[in-house]
Amino acid sequence: MPSFAITDVAGQPVDLTMALRGLAEAFGRRFPEHNEPPHRLGRLCEEVGELAEEILRVAADGGQRARVRGNLVKELRDVLRAAFALAGHYHRDVRFRMPGNSERQPLVLLARLTAATGDCARWVHHHAGMGVKVEKHGAFRPERLGAAAQLVIDLVAEVTAYFALHEDLRVSVEETYRRYQRGGYLLPESPR
């Protein structure tokens, strides 16, 4: 199993979960005008949609072309960043855990990922007091949103495992992390 750490621009190791948290915070600094829950939810939905397109391409192509696989890795990373950002907004502690492998087919994983993203939307809307959410579900409990975001992250990990993209994802996170460090968006205290 590959390492679940990256190295920063100074060559220091950074746990992959801490790196993803840092990237989520850095993205918020890079685009500070759009960091409210509906914006973060919109980003997550957009990234899940783009991931779905790539999963469908890989399924149709058999995963043979490197460009298709590279796009899939980028979208996996972007969904993780968006899920970490949404969970972080509600001060939920989520973690990236890579399974050894996945037996479930990618389209099944995609359907589950879509449902988990819908759960994130449910809890964001509940927090905003939309519709009859409070009557149906009681008072907002941020741990419910945290659990939905964790499920999104776990399903992305499972898609990564299914396509054996562990190392590709680690490298993609590392390159993005370093780019955000060099750009000044990733502050030294970002990963906590």
- pLDDT tens for each residue of 14-62: 999 999 999 999 999 998 888 888 899 999 999 999 999 999 988 887 6
Q: Are 43 and 23 in contact, with CB atoms under 8 Å apart?
A: no
**Per-domain boundaries in the chain:** 5-180
Residue 188 to residue 192: CA distance in whole angstroms: 10
Residue 166 to residue 86: CA distance in whole angstroms: 23
- pLDDT tens for each residue of 128-165: 777 666 677 677 778 888 999 999 999 999 999 998 89
Q: Would you state the pLDDT for residue 14? A: 95
Q: Are 175 and 73 in contact, with CB atoms under 8 Å apart?
A: no
